[in-house]
Amino acid sequence: MEATRALLAERGFDATTVQAIAERSGVRASAVYRRWATRTEIIERAVLPGPASVSVRATGDLPADLRRFVGAYLAVLGAPAARAAMPGLLAAHDGAHGHAGRPERWLAVSARPQFADIPAAAPLNGGHRAAAVRKVRR
């Protein structure tokens, strides 16, 4: 993962090949392919480590919780390797008809479950909280 992130930040998406990752890691390409089926898969795992890597506990303070939530995801997606990888990942997932489809099909960092907890924990204010929670869970 470290080799993949370093290559992305230094050389960009196109130059981050399985062969380059293997060379930087000091292993054979076949060892990389045993764990990850494609270059896209290893790059996704390196820059989008999954929802467990970003944890924002809802405190009931809606504005503060939303700021912390957005800040946490910006930290993950704003890292140099992630910024270098995103255009290539989006292109790699582009459908045969020129559209990427629903991001939930491929994006490893799912914000929806944690985000739903934030308005749910906020104090009810004239029924707005319940409507916000229903909208987020869709």
pLDDT in tens, 37-72: 999 999 998 998 765 567 788 898 888 888 998 888
pTM metric for this prediction: 0.69
Burial (Cβ within 10 Å: 0-12, 13-18, ≥19) of residue 63: exposed
pLDDT in tens, 2-20: 999 999 999 999 999 999 9
The tokens describing 3, both together, are: 């080799």
The tokens describing 113, both together, are: 């479950």
57-65: long-range contacts, CB 8 A cutoff, minimum separation 24: 58/117, 58/118, 58/120, 58/121, 58/122, 59/121, 60/121, 60/122, 60/123, 61/122, 62/118, 62/119, 62/122, 65/118, 65/121, 65/122
